[in-house]
Structure 1
Amino acid sequence: MELKFFKKSIPTLIFLVVFSAVGVTVFYHLLKVDNRLKIYNPSDVNPRLVDESMFHIQKNHTIADFSLVNQNANIITNNNYKDKIYIADFFFTRCQTICIAMAYNMSELQEFYKNDDEIMFLSHSVTPVIDSVSVLKEYANRKGVIDGKWNVTTGSKKHIYDLARKSYFAVLDEGNGDENDFIHTEQFVLVDKERRIRGYYDGTDKNEMEKLKTDIVLLKEEYASK
């Protein structure tokens, strides 16, 4: 009787084992999906941060092509960041308020990732007329910028403002790059290898820098699992 009952139970046990294995796999997969960083599009951020020409874009937003000049007078384009994860910000060398903490935190991040070839940094001057190449070079030397790792850039003011408003969504609606326009933001922007925005962080806040590091781990795991 017991043997008969046991034989009848075998298919049930097999079903339960298989069901449990499948359930664990599905749960793990869902957990991994939930841990993926958000991909930001214009519709996902404060409308005041977005140029109105971008309002219609609800998916597949990427950072536009760019061409800037760095601290060594080298042309820096999106090709320099191909297949890289990078952190971008907007600053100016004469800033004596939030930029001080931002530069310190960016330097700390650079030190943390200095041996990681996947990670790079990109800073855009919002006062490019003042921040000439020689000024940027002196600034880069003071901040310990590593050439090839962190580009501190200048360029056309209109181009930089377009990047801020139409690509990175990092600044409020305070102009479009005209002579008297001025933007100031503490945002660090995390960009993935496909030039998609994956996170925003207060560049003056130490806790936010720890969150950024955690998010980079998640982003790298996402790429490793592909």
Structure 2
Amino acid sequence: MAQRSVLYLLLLIITVSCTKQERKLPILGNREPVEKVVDGKTVIDTIYQAVPAFSFLNQDSVRVTEQAFNGKIYVADFFFTRCPSICPVMHRNMLKVYEKYKGNASVKLLSHTIDAIHDQPSVLKTYATKLGITGDQWEFVHGSHDSVYTIAEKSYLVAVGKEASAPGGFIHQGWFVLVDKQKRLRGAYDGTDTKQVAQLIEDMGVLLNEEDGK
């Protein structure tokens, strides 16, 4: 009986492990079917929406481009330092992600300010320091109004905007967007919801396993 119990436990462990390894995250965003020739045959392939080239200044006034994220998965969000509503909650939750993957060279975090006038790199540096962030694994970046708002809405599919009647003068969604090594969108999570942030942390592990298995 004891042997059967041990065997059942081993089978259960193997089944759970296989299930985790086989699980893959969906690819979000727009997609376009294209024809290509493989071994003399025409086949249909799919081109998925991907984050395009960008250039911002981070909290250390260092130029950051998409190349800094080559070969890495990352989580992107949009905020502003004077935000009196959801941003403090979002970044308390993002700290959980940071602590989980701190020091992992395959993981980065990217927070874009939507307040181009006030949130200069020096302001972002103070903000990052108060959160206890050092190094460049979590980048807080500043760019022109047009560059940040365009990449938010067209590439990350996050709504942002100025709104005089809104708390702090801006409106934005609190999504944490998970991006893979090919810069494709693989998940979106409510950064104010602890359960969804926990799911993000788990899905990042799934994505890392998926990428490593290629």
Q: TM-score when scaled to structure 1?
A: 0.73
**Deviation string for 1:95-154 (max 9, x for gaps)?**
011001111111221111112111100000000111011111111110112221011011
Matched, 1:123 2:111: yes
Task: Give the Cα separation in 2 of the matches to 1:173 and 1:33.
Answer: 40
Alignment correspondent of 1:112? 100
Instruction: Read off the aligned partner of 1:88 and give its amino acid letter.
Output: A
Bigger radius of gyration among the two: 1
Matched, 1:203 2:185: no
Could you list the runs of 5+ residues in structure 2 that have no partner in the other structure? 1-17, 32-45, 164-168
Deviation at residue 184 of structure 1 after TM alignment: 1.2
Task: Give the Cα separation in 1 of the matches to 2:148 and 2:75.
Answer: 16
Could you list the runs of 5+ residues in structure 1 that have no partner in the other structure? 1-29, 44-57, 176-180
Alignment correspondent of 1:162? 150
Matched, 1:67 2:55: yes
Structure 1 runs (4+) deviating above 6 angstroms are 30-34, 172-175
The number of aligned residues is: 180
Q: In proportion to residue count, which structure has more strand?
A: 2
Alignment correspondent of 2:72? 84
User: Which runs of structure 2 are paired with 1:166-185 in the superposition (5 Å)?
Assistant: 166-171=154-159, 182-185=170-173
RMSD: 2.5
Tell me the secondary structure at the aligned position of residue 151 of structure 1.
strand
Q: TM-score when scaled to structure 2?
A: 0.77
Q: Provide closer, same or farther for how the CA distance between residues 171 and 224 of structure 1 changes in structure 2, counting only shifts above 3 A.
A: same
Matched, 1:186 2:170: no
Q: In proportion to residue count, which structure has more helix?
A: 1
Tell me the secondary structure at the aligned position of residue 62 of structure 1.
coil
Task: Give the Cα separation in 1 of the matches to 2:96 and 2:62.
Answer: 24
Alignment correspondent of 1:135? 123
**Deviation string for 1:42-72 (max 9, x for gaps)?**
37xxxxxxxxxxxxxx841100111000110
